Amino acid sequence: MEPDKARGLDTEAILLSIGDGVIEIDREGKVNVMNRAAERLTGFTAREILGKHYREALRFGTEKSDETRFDFIEDTLREGSENMFPKEFVVFTKKGRKVPITGSAAPVRDETGKPLGVVVAFRDITNERELENIKVEFLSLASHQLRTPLSGIKWLIETLLAEKIGTLNQAQKEYLTHIYQSNERMIKLVHDLLSVIRLEGEKPALTVTNFSLGEFLGECYEFSRLAAEKAGLAFRYETPDEAVLITSDRTLLKAILDVLISNAINYSKPGGTILFQAVREGEFVEFSVADNGIGIPREERNNLFSKFYRAPNAKAMKPEGSGLGLYTAKFLAGMLGGVIRVESIENQGSTFRLTAPVRQNPLPAGVATEVRQTPTP
């Protein structure tokens, strides 16, 4: 047997035997390859599918709607880009059942780079998605149940401290204040946990408006001014001279910047300075928060945005942090199509930069009016 031929045979056998579903579509959209895992997953046989246009052969969609989705294949065919499946993606089986999948569409090219078609690879993630749902439900229930006793402790101590039940001596007041502060820490932790669960579960809709960048910066500044003052820090902000307008989700942007500013305050020593700035560069706006605080050790940078992760020097300085701030900030930045970058030198300071598009994509109808903020009294 010639070696080349042997290799060719093997490649096809390997392709057909791969544990993940694989489908290959040519430039005209005709399905040329469907492996055995794809047959098992969809309930169709290769014979039923091969040679047909992918739109007539298969159907993809999402868990929560009945809409058919082929955009990831079309984008790859048109642009030659690799596309990961969106969250909650499903394939419809022959019997019309939805099977949760994850995977990607990637361009197939010849040796010269000429696009020949698209290869779609996908995997059944029914179990993973069920586990994820159980986790979210459990955490959400547990957090709600935790809030009730915590609010009881909070309100009862407040009533005692206001001396509505009787007068207290100095030591009693101090003890109660300590209990109160511990309880507030617990409340904050539960609140942060719930916010993260909600973000991951519901993905809040964007509420996009036009607003002045300078005014917005002032608002963020005011929000944290007192906390910075209390921490003995010089906190300044600078805006571009011109009246720059941007179009974005103001509440989300502010939530991200609040995290970055509050980190700068928490991880700076008294006497330090914090500079908060924004510049518009073409289609993007870059916010930066620079401090000369404790900084981030080099080896910790990669983990900085992981859930519950805290750098050792941060933990030593503020034991009560939850490790959810930057995780949440990164998540929200992603929703705005933005990124957060960090430069830092340990013991010298950190600069966090948020780059976000000045103009958000047009919104799908009916999502712009979601209520997101808790009403305040």
Partner 1 sequence: MSRILVVEDEEFLLRALKDNISHEGFDVDLARDGEEALEKVRAKKPDLILLDLLMPRKDGFAVLEELTRNPEWRLIPVIVLSNLGSDHDIKRALEMGAKDYFVKSQHPIAEVVEKVKHILRGGI
Among 99, 156, 199, 290, binds partner 1 (CB under 8 A): 156
Exposure class string for 233-243: b at 16+ Cβ within 10 A, else e: bebebebeeee
371 binds partner 1 (CB under 8 A): yes
Q: Which of 68/133 has CB closer to partner 1? A: 133
| Closest to 86 in 3D by CA, of 106, 66, 61 | 61
Among 43, 61, 80, 204, binds partner 1 (CB under 8 A): 204
150 binds partner 1 (CB under 8 A): yes
Q: How far is the CB of 16 from partner 1 (least distance, A)?
A: 47
| Closest to 253 in 3D by CA, of 282, 281, 286, 292 | 286
Q: Which of 148/170 has CB closer to partner 1? A: 148
187 binds partner 1 (CB under 8 A): yes
Question: Residue 120 belongs to what H/E stretch?
Answer: strand 115-124
Among 127, 148, 169, 302, binds partner 1 (CB under 8 A): 148
Distance CA 335, CA 363 (A): 13
Distances (CA, A) of 104 to 9, 55, 97: 25, 17, 21
Longest dimension (CA), the chain: 98
Provide the mask over 95-134, with x wherever binding to partner 1 is found by CB under 8 A and - wherever it is not.
----------------------------------------
166 binds partner 1 (CB under 8 A): no
Distance CA 34, CA 47 (A): 9
1 binds partner 1 (CB under 8 A): no
Q: How far is the CB of 375 from partner 1 (least distance, A)?
A: 6
Q: Which of 155/308 has CB closer to partner 1? A: 155
Q: Which of 145/210 has CB closer to partner 1? A: 145
Cα 120 to chain centroid, rounded = 25
Q: What angle do CA 25, 26, 31 make, to 5 degrees?
A: 40
How many residues would you count in the chain? 377
For residue 97, give both structure tokens: 């059942």
Give helix 170-202 / helix 325-335 axis angle, nearest 10°: 30
Q: How far is the CB of 153 from partner 1 (least distance, A)?
A: 9
Half-sphere exposure in the Cβ direction for 314 (13 Å, CA) = 26
Among 10, 79, 202, 222, binds partner 1 (CB under 8 A): 202
Distance CA 326, CA 319 (A): 16
DSSP state for residue 300 in the 8-state scheme: G
| Closest to 309 in 3D by CA, of 320, 317, 300 | 300
372 binds partner 1 (CB under 8 A): yes
Q: Which of 81/159 has CB closer to partner 1? A: 159
CB under 8 A: which stretch of 62-70, 130-138, 142-150, 253-261 binds partner 1?
142-150
362 binds partner 1 (CB under 8 A): no
64 binds partner 1 (CB under 8 A): no
165 binds partner 1 (CB under 8 A): yes
Among 16, 50, 194, 279, binds partner 1 (CB under 8 A): 194
CB under 8 A: which stretch of 17-25, 94-102, 141-149, 289-297 binds partner 1?
141-149
Distance CA 19, CA 11 (A): 14
Among 11, 81, 126, 151, binds partner 1 (CB under 8 A): 151
Find residue 234's DSSP bridge partners.
273
Q: How far is the CB of 154 from partner 1 (least distance, A)?
A: 6
Q: Residues interacting with partner 1, by CB under 8 A? A: 144, 147-148, 150-152, 154-156, 158-159, 162, 164-165, 187, 190-191, 194, 198, 202, 204, 370-372, 374-375, 377
